[in-house]
Structures are given as C-alpha cells and as structure tokens.
Structure 1
Amino acid sequence: MTIKNRDSFLNNLAANLGRPRRTESVERPAYSVSPQKEAWKDATSEELLEVFKEQSIKMSAEVEETTEENLPSLIRDLIVREGNSVIAAGGERNDLYGLTEMYEELESRIGEVHIYDSALGKENQVIAERADVGVTFSDVTLAESGTVTLFNDKDNGRSISLLPKTYIAIVPESTIVPRMTQSMQVLREKEKSETEKTPSCVSFITGPSNSADIEMIKIVGVHGPVKAIYVIVRDS
C-alpha cells in the first residue's frame, strides 16, 4: 500500500495547530497497573469454556457442543432445521473440518448452497440477503462477553454474519480467550507479521442482534440475524 501526499498533509495539519510538525516517535507510557490483562488470566481452558457458554446464553445465543468428527453432520442438521438456503465462508478450514463434502451433499437437499466467492463481488451480498442461514468460523472467541470475532477477508465477507435470518458461528475450543484484550493482541501480532495478512475488517458478534432502546424492552433481530447459534468444537 502506497501512502500519497502524507508529508504535505501532516505539514498542513501542524501549521493549522500552530506548532512545528513532530517527527520523533511517541514513547509508550509504562502503566503501573494493567487491569485489562488480569481478568481470567489464570483460568483453565475448561473454565473459559464454561464462562463463554454461560455468557452466550445470557446474550440469547443458542449453544451447541460437538467433536470435530461430528461437526459436519451437526452443521448440516442445523442448516436444514433453520431454512432452505445457506451462505458460508470459504477458505481452507472447510476442508480441514470436513465441511466441503457436506456442503456439496447438502446442495441436493435444500434450495441453495453458496460458498462466499470474492470473484462475484456484490453478488455475494445479494445471495446473503436472501439466505436463511450464514455460517462462518470464529477466529478469536471472547469468554467474558460471549463474543465471536471474525477476521473478514476475501473468503469471509461481513454479509455472511449480518444478512441471513440465522447466523451459525463455528467455535473451535482453541480459539476461546478471556476477553477483548487477547483479541487485540492477536491482531497486533498479525500487524507485525511479515507473513500473515491483517484482516480488512474485524467483526465482533455477541449473540443475535438486539436493542432495548425503547422503554428498556429487549427486542431481538432488530438489525441483523434473528437467531445466533454457537457451535463449539471440542479439542481432541
């Protein structure tokens, strides 16, 4: 990525602030306490899993548990239960978890099965809008808030989790971390890496869309999927 006109922009900004332009780096302060790093830091993976499940249910999400071996059949049954069409994220994890063959077999049973294809551009959004179900993997999962984190890229557009009536998040147990702090650390490492790509967008999803703006009455499905299902894949 090439940054154009940076110097002229920064010079003009400094001039309007009435001071010389700063060219030295800013030293990061050394904080005496870091409470954001303390929450759940000593929790075991089993304890984090239980926290995530409890919080997800509070956020009106349905929670399922399965093994890697049984994941394809469970996802297939959930899709059939929830509707007649599905849009799913692409990428190598579909092959890794045995979902590619399941999606191919599912095409003969329901109305439409679409794997997100960046070559189709905006057409993916049109398909997502009419889909009953959207399926993605969670890249980092936040136990404290019952949140799945999606690193959106060419195989995993935002529309998959935003436009269908039901959203299914596949949550590998290994992705569960205490809270937002750890997801930011993962992103920071991606940014510093010379081999990994930084996602074009990051989506944080905590249960189905809802709002209690009017008289504190909670309404689900206001601006997104009416139902969210988290499928936890237990580590072997």
Structure 2
Amino acid sequence: MDDVTLLNIGNTHAQIAGWRRRTVCGLRRIPGARLAEAEGCTAELAAHAGRPLLLACVSPPVGEAVCGWAAETRTPLCTVSPSQLPEVDFSGVDTSTLGADRVANLAAALHLCRLPVIVMDCGSAITTEVLDAERRFRGGAIAPGRALARRALHEFTGQLPLVEMQARVPSPLGTATRAAILAGIDLGALGTVARLIESTRGESGLSEAAVVVTGGDRAYFAANLPSVEEAVPDFTLQGMGWLAEKAFRK
C-alpha cells in the first residue's frame, strides 16, 4: 500500500512516523502539547498533509486539534478502533472505553508475539493487555507509572519533592526523604507489575503466557523482572501500521 502516517499521541509525548512496506520509518518524538493548537499541528504535520493518517490518541483536546488540521488540509484520517482488528474477539470487554494505544498493542502482539501474551505498556500509566491463545482479548489492568507517581506525590502534598527518574533499583531503606520516595515508588512499581503478572497467569488458559514490555519506561522493568521480554522500540507503532493497512484498504 502507499505510505501512511502514524500518529500516536500519549499523555506526555507524541510519536510521528511513516508506515512503508510494512516498516516503521522516519520516527519523530515530540511533546504532545505541541499538537494541541492549530499552529503546532501545522508546524509538526505539514510534511504529512494529504497523506492517509492513522491516529491513536489518549488526549481528547489534542485529538480534536489534529482532526481539525486534517479537515483543513484534506488529509484522510482514521482513528484506531477495535473494528480494525477482526481477528481478535472483543466480546468479553467494554470496547467503548478501550484506549486506542491498547488496541494498537493488541495488533502488535498478534503479529509479533506468541500467544497467549501479556503486553505491559509502561509509560505515564502502566497498562496490561492480555491476549489468549484463542485470540480473545481478556482485559487487563491500569496503574500509575513511575513518573506519574512522582508528580502525584509532589503536587498533592505540602513538602514532598519531585524526585528524579533513575534506572537502578533503590534500597528499601531510604535514609532521607528523596531516598524513601524512590524506594516506595520504584520498588512498589516492580511489585505491582510482578503481582499483575502472577495473578494474570493464574487465570484460565494463561499459565504459560509470555510477558512483553513496551513503553518509554520499559527498560527499567525488563532489566529488573525475571521472564519479561523487552519489546522492539516501535512496538505500538508497528501495531498501528497493521491497523492502517485495514483502515485505508482500497
């Protein structure tokens, strides 16, 4: 098929890439807020005007701005939808509230992973998408990510500082406030993910589920949890590429 633009807008950043010959190409990463206004859309997306664009967006105001830009520039636009993934059985879940990024992760899992699989997407939020051997989407979980937990402690308390992100696992015995926050958040995040994996594998048909981790914070979890495989960096975008082939099929 002809080139398609993939636009994946998360809570903090957006990824812009092309999909050509079933390959993600020309990937750029920008602050998502840049696309919240018409001027930013024009500056960042001008080179993609008129080319079919597949949008996955978790920020409604930014999504509305992009849709407005697409209408003005006569750029064909489709949004990621479960209907673009007929190979997956969504009958057991409420798809009306299912995030587009999670649908894209399921598409990537279907093409890149052995089933059953647990996809862990670790970014602003930590999400799981569970696809069983019969290609049924079984649901998943949503929890705050490490960066979001840091901001929440800082913004909703009177004195707790905003602590830096770090790759190493902290000691559980924080001897000062910053160290104690690192221990609570970073060890807690590992514990949350480990328990989610354990509990998910306890469900029917999922005892042998593989675990693949993607997202901006994937390296921390892949390095510090056993039997967790780090996904390719463009995992979600690859899923979007496969969906684009159906969305813009001629």
Shorter-chain-normalised TM-score: which range? Answer: under 0.3
Q: Give TM-score, length-normalised by structure 2.
A: 0.26
Which structure: larger Rg?
Answer: 1
> RCO (CA 8 Å, sep 6+): is it higher in 1 or 2?
1
